[in-house]
Amino acid sequence: GAGVSQSPRYKVAKRGQDVALRCDPISGHVSLFWYQQALGQGPEFLTYFQNEAQLDKSGLPSDRFFAERPEGSVSTLKIQRTQQEDSAVYLCASRGASTDTQYFGPGTRLTVL
Amino acid sequence: QKEVEQNSGPLSVPEGAIASLNCTYSDRGSQSFFWYRQYSGKSPELIMFIYSNGDKEDGRFTAQLNKASQYVSLLIRDSQPSDSATYLCAVILDYQLIWGAGTKLIIKP
């Protein structure tokens, strides 16, 4: 596709519910990043994939957060047993092989009630 | 100390004037520097990147980098109301983008 896409754009979950957020990167981009952005803050790094390999997951806030990219393209961020503090915008970005520039998807706004 | 610092603003600038946005970073190993614009409820979009000391111009935008002072700025000439947004500074550290919290810019007609 022309850009990074994410789905759903909005998700409302009840506390304790599991959610799955999807990211489709720009075709051919080997690197994929997940960020969490709270209101009024810059994005915070969660995890990084190069192709299907998850090279860094140091930003995942707890073991309730899990990300995968099994075929090196689409990625899913899963949050188990959601808590109110998980409410944020989750941004996905992809990057080509010979550049530092990351391109962002529209984000998924997660609200946990 | 945060690795990337920005004044949160809001910075209010009259239409047609120059808006000056500033950012400092703590890691001297940072090599690449980015300015992203983020409208309310939208995701960040790339404005400019800069790697070398000095100025880089693109249309109404000029990025300035001073590695000795660990300082990067963005100038917007002939500011327009559509420039009203939050401007995020980000630096590359290894492969990660480290972000400032952003400066909210308001262009007053």
Residue contact A42–B32, C-beta within 8 A = no
Share above pLDDT 90 across residues of chain A, in percent, rounded to a whole number: 89
Secondary structure letter of residue A92 according to DSSP: E
Q: Is A86 left (phi over 0), alpha (psi -120 to 50) or beta?
A: alpha
Residue contact B42–A106, C-beta within 8 A = yes
On the question of pLDDT at B107 being above 60, the answer is yes
Give dist(CA B63, CA A45) in Å, integer. Answer: 24
**CB-based contact B44:B36 (threshold 8 Å):** yes
A41 to chain B: which residues are within 8 Å by CB?
A: 101-102
| pLDDT classification of A99: cutoffs 50, 70, 90 | confident
Rounded to a whole number, what is the distance in Å from the CA of A41 to chain B's nearest CA?
5
Residue contact B99–A44, C-beta within 8 A = yes
pLDDT of residue B1: 55
On the question of pLDDT at A50 being above 90, the answer is yes
On the question of pLDDT at B57 being above 60, the answer is yes
pLDDT of residue A45: 92
Q: Which of B48, B92, B97, B103 should we substitute to test contact with A (largest number of A Cβ atoms within 10 Å)?
A: B97
On the question of pLDDT at A36 being above 90, the answer is yes
- Dihedral sign computed on CA atoms, order A10, A100, B21, A45: positive
On the question of pLDDT at A24 being above 80, the answer is yes
Q: Is B15 left (phi over 0), alpha (psi -120 to 50) or beta?
A: beta
